[in-house]
Structure 1
Amino acid sequence: MIGTILETVGEGLYLAGDFLWQALWALLLGFMISGAIQAFVSKEGMVNYMGEPDLKSVLYAMGFGTASTSCSFGDIAATKTLFKKGAHIIPTVAFKIASTNFVIGLTFVIWALLGWEFAVAQAVGAPIFILIAIVLVHLWIPYEETRQARERLLKEEQPVVTDPVCKMRLNRENGIPVEHKNETVYFCSEGCKRLFEQNPGTHTTSWKEKITSWNGWVEAANQTKKDLKMLWKELAIGFLLAGVIAAAVPQTVWTLLFEGGGAGVTQVAYNSVLGPLISVATFVGSMGNVPLAAVLWGSGFAFAGVIAFLYADLIVPQLIRIYRKIWGKKIGTRISIILFVSMATTGFIVYYLFAAVGLIPDIALEPTGEGVTILGFEPVTILNVLFLLVGVVFIALLMRGRKGAPGDRAVEDPVTGTKVTVKNADYCTVHDESIYYFESDDSRAQFQESPEAYL
C-alpha cells in the first residue's frame, strides 16, 4: 500500500516537472513581457489603446495578446499590469483570452499532438470565446467597481513613489499629487512641484529613451522579479497538484465520465460543460493541458469537450485565486464564471460549425505524435534553453543594478557634510532653483533658517 502511494507520488512529481518543462519558456516570456510593460509603457499609452470599452480597444487587446505568450500563468501578470495601468476591464479580459488562445506557438503544439483540425478549431473559436466573454462582462460587472479595484491595486502595490524632480523616494500619502498626461505624479515639496511645472519634459523619460537605456532594462528585470515573487506560490501549488492528480486518477474514471449526457445535442452540451470542469479538477494550466487533451481525445472524449478543455486553462483553481486577488472576491468570482460559460458555449458552437462542414475528425486511439524536432531537439527544449539564457541576462541586470541613475547619486548634506544617497535621503529642499539633500530634519531646518551660511 505504502509502496503504491509512493509510486503514485513519484509519478505525480515527475508529471509536475514535465508540465512545468512544457510551460517554462512561456512562463518566462510572459513575466518578462509584464516587466517590460511596467518599465517602458506609460499609463497614458495603455489608456490610448485599451482605455475604453469599444471595438478599437478590443482589437488592440487581441493584437497585444497575439504578440504575447500562450501561457495562462505568465499572462496573468501582464493582464494585471495592463489593468492597473488603465486598461478597461473589457479589453483586459479580451487580452487575457487572446494571449492564451490566439497565439501561433500554441497552434503548433495542438497541431502536433491532436491534429490540424483541432488547431484550426481552437483558432476559429478564440474570437467567438472573446465576443461571448466581453458581452457577459459588460452585462454583469459594474464598471465603477472595476475602477475601485484598480485604485486598490495602486494603493496596495505602489505605496512608495519617486519625486521626478529630486528623485527622492516618498510615501504617496505624504506627497503632493499633480495630474500629468493621465498619470498622477507625486512631489516631496512645493519647490519640486514648481520646478516640474516650469518644464515637465526635463523630468520625464519617454519609452523610447527607457528602452534604449541600461536603467530601463534594469527596471524591467526588477518588475519581472516582483511579479514572480507575487505569483510563485500559486504556480508551484498548481503544477504539483496537476502532476499528482494526473498520476492518481485512472483512465477508467475519465471513460465513465464521457459516457454521460445521452446523445445528440444533449451529449454535445454535456461534453462542452464537462471539458472545463475536468480542467478545474486536474489543475492543468498553460500548454500543459494540450498533452492531457490528447489523452482525453484518445480515451473517447467528444470533440466539443476537448475544444472547451483547451480553453479552460483560464479557470484552473490557482488562476481563479489570482483573479480574486487582483479584482477582489466579487469581480474575480464573476470573471471566473463568465470565462467558464463562455468557453463551454464556444465548444458547443465550434462543434456544430465543424460538423456542418465535415471537419470533425475520427476519435484517435493514440495521440497523433510527439511533434517535430529541430536538429534532434524538441522545439520546447530549444525555447526553454533560449529563455533561460534570457533569464540569466535579467538576473545579471538585477545583480549589477542601476547604472548612473539620478537616485543613486551620492550628495553631501550642506550642513553636516555627511554623504547621503539621493534615493535614500528622507529630507530635501529647493533653494534658488537647486535641490539640496539632508540626513535629518534638524539639518534641513538649520539650512532653511540661513541658507547662505552653508553655500
Structure 2
Amino acid sequence: MLLSLLRTVSDGLLLAGEFLWQALWALLLGFMLSGAIQAFVSKEGMVHYMGDASPRSILYAMGFGAASTSCSFGDIAATKTLFKKGAHLLPTVAFLIASTNFVIGLTFVIWALIGWEFALAQAVGAPIFILIALIFVHSMIPYDEARQARERLIENEEPVVTDPVCKMRLNRENGIPVTHKNETVYFCSEGCKNLFEQNPDVHTTSWKEKITSWNGWVEAANQTLKDLKMLWKELAIGFLLAGLVAAAVPQTFWTLLFEGGGVGVTQIAYNSVLGPLISLATFVGSIGNVPLAAVLWSSGFAFAGVIAFLYADLIVPQLIRIYRKIFGKKIGTRLSIILFVSMAMTGFIVYYLFTAVGLVPDPTVTDARDGITIFGFEPVTILNGLFLLIAVGFGVLLVRGRKGAPGDQTVHDPVTGAELTVKDTDFCTVYDESIYYFESEHSRKQFRNSPEAYL
C-alpha cells in the first residue's frame, strides 16, 4: 500500500515536471511581456479612458486587460485601483475578465499545454464572456450601489504615494495634488510642487521615454519579479495538482463524472456548468489551472467544459472573498454569480461555434508537433533556452537596477550629517532649485533659517 502510494506520488511529480517544462517558455514570455507593459503604462492614464459605460471605454478596458499580468490575484488588485480611482463599473469588470482571459501570456501557455484550438477558443470566447457578463452587471448592479461601493473603498484606504521630485513617500491625503497629463501626482511640499511645475518633463517620463531608458527596463524587471512573487504558489499548486491528478485518478472516475449529463445538448450544458464547479473545488487560479485543464481534456472532458474551466479562475473561493471586500457583500456576491453563469454560457456558445466550423479537436489524435526536431532539439527545448537567457537578462537588470533606484539613494542631512535613505525620509526642502533631506523637522527649520551656513 505504502509502496503504491509512493509510486503514485513519484509519477505525479514527474508528470508535473513535464507539464512545467512544456509551458516554461510561455510562462517566461508572458511574465516578462506583462512586466514591461505594466512599467510603461500607468493606471492613472488607464482610468482616463475608462470613466464611463460607453463601448469605447469598454474596448479600452479590454485592451488594457489584455496587456496585463494574467495573474487573477494580481489583476484583482489592479481592478480595485482602477475602480477606486474612478473607472466605471462596466469597464472595470471588462478589465477584470480580459486581464485573466484575454492576455497574450495565457494564450501561449494554453497553446503549449493543450493545443492551438484551445488557445484560439480562449481568445474568441473572451469577448463573448465579457459581453454576457456586462449585460448581467448592467441589469443587476445599479449605478448608485457601485458609486457607494467606490466611496467606501476610498474611505477605508490611505495609499502611500511617491513625490516625483524628491522621491519621498507620503500619505496621499497629506500630499499636494497636481494633475499632469491625465495623471494625479502628489507632493510633500510647495517647494517640490513649484520645482515640478517649472519643468515637469524633468520629473516625469512618457511611455516612449521609458521604453528607451535603462530605468524603464529596470522597472519592467521589477514588475516581472513582483508578478512572479504573487503567482508562484498558484503555479506550483496548479502543476503539482495536475501531475498528481493525472497519476492518481482512474479513468473510470472521469468517465462517470463527465458523462453524467446525458448526451447531446444536455451533456454540453452539463459539462459547461461542471467546468467552473471543478475550478471552485480545486482553489487553483491564474495560469495554474491550465495544466489541470490539460489533464481534464485528456481524460475525456468535453471541449465546452474545458473552456469554461479555463475561464473559472475568476471564481475561486479566494477571489470571491476579495470581491466581497472590494465591492461590498451584496455586489461581490452578485458579481461572483454573474461570472459563474457567464463563463458557463460562454463555454456552451464557443463549443457550438467551433463545432460549426470544424475546429473542435479530437482528443484521440496525437499532436502534430510531437516528433518534430530542429537541429536535433525539440522546439520546446529551444524556446525554453531562449527565454531563460532573456530571463537572465532581466535578472541582471534587477541586480544592477537596485543600486540606482532614486528612492534607494543615500543622502545626508546637511545640518546633522546623518545618513538617510530617500524613500524613508520624512522631511525635505527645496533651496536654489536643489533638494535637501533631513532626519527631523528641527534640522529642516535650522536649515531654512540659515541655509548658507550648511552649504
Q: Same fold (TM over 0.5)?
A: yes
When residues 394 and 146 of structure 1 are mapped into structure 2, their CA distance, relative to the original with a 3 A threshold, is farther
After superposition, the C-alpha distances for 1:13-40 in whole angstroms (9 at most, x for unaligned) are: 2233333334433433343344334422
Q: Secondary structure at the match of 1:401?
A: helix
Contact map agreement 1:312 1:343 (CA 8 A) in 2:
yes
Cα distance in structure 1, aligned partners of 2:155 and 2:19: 34
- Amino acid aligned to 2:237: I
1:143 is the counterpart of 2:146: yes
How does 1:123-272 map onto structure 2 within 5 Å? 123-141=123-141, 142-144=145-147, 147=150, 151=154, 155=158, 158-159=159-160, 161-272=161-272
Contact map agreement 1:118 1:307 (CA 8 A) in 2:
yes
Contact map agreement 1:109 1:371 (CA 8 A) in 2:
no
When residues 221 and 82 of structure 1 are mapped into structure 2, their CA distance, relative to the original with a 3 A threshold, is farther
> Offset of 1:368 from its aligned partner?
4.6
Contact map agreement 1:34 1:78 (CA 8 A) in 2:
no
Contact map agreement 2:39 2:220 (CA 8 A) in 1:
yes
Q: Which runs of 5+ in 1 are unaligned?
A: none
> Offset of 1:256 from its aligned partner?
0.8
> Offset of 1:205 from its aligned partner?
1.9
When residues 228 and 5 of structure 1 are mapped into structure 2, their CA distance, relative to the original with a 3 A threshold, is same
> Offset of 1:100 from its aligned partner?
5.4
> Offset of 1:453 from its aligned partner?
3.2
> Offset of 1:132 from its aligned partner?
0.9
Task: Show the counterpart of 2:445.
Answer: 445
When residues 233 and 124 of structure 1 are mapped into structure 2, their CA distance, relative to the original with a 3 A threshold, is closer
When residues 250 and 367 of structure 1 are mapped into structure 2, their CA distance, relative to the original with a 3 A threshold, is farther
How does 1:21-420 map onto structure 2 within 5 Å? 21-64=21-64, 72-73=70-71, 77=74, 80-81=77-78, 84-85=81-82, 88-98=88-98, 101-102=101-102, 122-141=122-141, 142-144=145-147, 147=150, 151=154, 155=158, 158-159=159-160, 161-281=161-281, 285-289=288-292, 291-296=294-299, 299=300, 301-315=301-315, 334-353=334-353, 357=356, 359=358, 364-365=363-364, 367-368=366-367, 371=370, 373-375=372-374, 376-402=376-402, 406-407=406-407, 411-417=411-417, 420=420
Contact map agreement 1:98 1:126 (CA 8 A) in 2:
yes
- Amino acid aligned to 2:43: K
> Offset of 1:111 from its aligned partner?
7.6
After superposition, the C-alpha distances for 1:314-338 in whole angstroms (9 at most, x for unaligned) are: 5456666776787677666554433
TM-score, L = length of structure 2: 0.79
Q: Secondary structure at the match of 1:430?
A: strand
Contact map agreement 1:293 1:310 (CA 8 A) in 2:
no
Greater displacement, 174-183 / 390-399: 174-183
Contact map agreement 2:427 2:438 (CA 8 A) in 1:
yes
> Offset of 1:443 from its aligned partner?
2.3
CA RMSD of the aligned region, Å?
3.9
When residues 302 and 149 of structure 1 are mapped into structure 2, their CA distance, relative to the original with a 3 A threshold, is farther
Contact map agreement 1:175 1:187 (CA 8 A) in 2:
yes
Contact map agreement 2:90 2:134 (CA 8 A) in 1:
yes
Contact map agreement 2:413 2:437 (CA 8 A) in 1:
yes
- Amino acid aligned to 1:401: G
When residues 421 and 125 of structure 1 are mapped into structure 2, their CA distance, relative to the original with a 3 A threshold, is closer
Cα distance in structure 2, aligned partners of 1:232 and 1:286: 13
> Offset of 1:211 from its aligned partner?
1.8
Q: Secondary structure at the match of 2:186?
A: strand
When residues 194 and 261 of structure 1 are mapped into structure 2, their CA distance, relative to the original with a 3 A threshold, is same
Greater displacement, 363-372 / 195-204: 363-372
Contact map agreement 2:27 2:105 (CA 8 A) in 1:
no
When residues 313 and 371 of structure 1 are mapped into structure 2, their CA distance, relative to the original with a 3 A threshold, is farther
- Amino acid aligned to 1:84: T
Q: Secondary structure at the match of 2:428?
A: strand
> Offset of 1:433 from its aligned partner?
4.5
- Amino acid aligned to 1:262: G
Cα distance in structure 2, aligned partners of 1:255 and 1:309: 17
Contact map agreement 1:217 1:397 (CA 8 A) in 2:
yes
> Offset of 1:439 from its aligned partner?
3.8
Q: Secondary structure at the match of 1:445?
A: helix
When residues 446 and 310 of structure 1 are mapped into structure 2, their CA distance, relative to the original with a 3 A threshold, is closer
| Identity, % of aligned positions | 72
Q: Secondary structure at the match of 1:435?
A: strand
> Offset of 1:274 from its aligned partner?
1.8
Task: Show the counterpart of 2:435.
Answer: 435
Cα distance in structure 2, aligned partners of 1:7 and 1:40: 48
Contact map agreement 2:239 2:292 (CA 8 A) in 1:
no
Contact map agreement 2:75 2:99 (CA 8 A) in 1:
no
> Offset of 1:68 from its aligned partner?
6.6
When residues 81 and 317 of structure 1 are mapped into structure 2, their CA distance, relative to the original with a 3 A threshold, is same
Matched residue count: 445
> Offset of 1:2 from its aligned partner?
1.2
Q: Which runs of 5+ in 2 are unaligned?
A: none
